Structure 1
């Protein structure tokens, strides 16, 4: 199962970064390049433990839906969202926040995912999604860093 980690320095304290990452509107705005929008579940405001949201977006010329639920929640240090329904065999996104010692925070995203379809899915994971997914998360984090200045 592929896993990758992205570390981003933010100029705001962990509490503010934690809250921004759980904000549905901030998420959809950060993914505007793929026309992402919340279409079911908690579609506005801030997510909390047990909340689910279904996002719809275009990737690779196709429209996809992914329903994720907040499975772990420890403000302002950590939360985890996991796919309940969607294109992946498995999708788990752990978010970690810690002070950077200067009033800002270090945000760490740890993503575990796997595509369906056995060997074809593993090939897609290593050849396409292995570079596409980290780029998507880096772009989202750049948006958040600019939003939180």
Structure 2
């Protein structure tokens, strides 16, 4: 099972980073390159414990759907989402937020996934999938950092309207 560990330092309080990380709207901005769109469940606003969302996106030249739900939630320090259905056999994404010097936050992602197709899936993990997923997470974190540090977070979070389909 591949595990991706990323750490990003953001010059903003943990609560801001936490809320930006669970924003469906900001997630769609950070995944524009894959045309990711929330199509079912919470399709706008902030995710909460027990919420689910179905995403549609184009990954590796294939249009796919993936549903996940929030399985753990301790604002503003931790939440986890796990796959319900999708291209993976399973995944769990842990999001951790730790206050560090001043008003800064260490945002840590731990993303574990299991690919389908047995040995073929393991080969795909080694050849390209872990790198592909790391790139997606780094882009997501770059967008969160940019919004949090620029002050745009106030505008983004002020207009968050929760929409559930």
Q: Shared fold (TM-score greater than 0.5)?
A: yes
**2-structure distance, mates of 1:94, 1:53:** 16
C-alpha displacement at 1:75, in angstroms?
Answer: 0.6
Q: In the alignment, which residue of structure 1 is the partner of 2:24?
A: 24
1:91-106 mapped onto 2 (5 Å cutoff):
91-106=91-106
**1-structure distance, mates of 2:7, 2:64:** 26
Secondary structure of 1:12's counterpart equals coil
Q: In the alignment, which residue of structure 1 is the partner of 2:143?
A: 143
Segments of 4+ moved more than 2 angstroms: none
Q: In the alignment, which residue of structure 1 is the partner of 2:76?
A: 76
1:1-149 mapped onto 2 (5 Å cutoff):
1-149=1-149
Aligned length: 149
**1-structure distance, mates of 2:130, 2:27:** 21
**2-structure distance, mates of 1:81, 1:131:** 20
**1-structure distance, mates of 2:70, 2:134:** 21
- The answer for unaligned runs of 5 or more in structure 1 is none
**1-structure distance, mates of 2:65, 2:122:** 20
The TM-score with structure 2 as length reference comes to 0.89
Secondary structure of 1:88's counterpart equals coil
**CA deviation string 1:9-54 (max 9, x = no partner):** 1111001100111110011111101111100001011000000001
C-alpha displacement at 1:91, in angstroms?
Answer: 0.8
C-alpha displacement at 1:114, in angstroms?
Answer: 1.0
C-alpha displacement at 1:130, in angstroms?
Answer: 1.7
Secondary structure of 2:39's counterpart equals strand
Secondary structure of 1:42's counterpart equals strand
The TM-score with structure 1 as length reference comes to 0.98
Secondary structure of 1:81's counterpart equals strand
CA RMSD after TM alignment:
0.7
Secondary structure of 2:44's counterpart equals coil
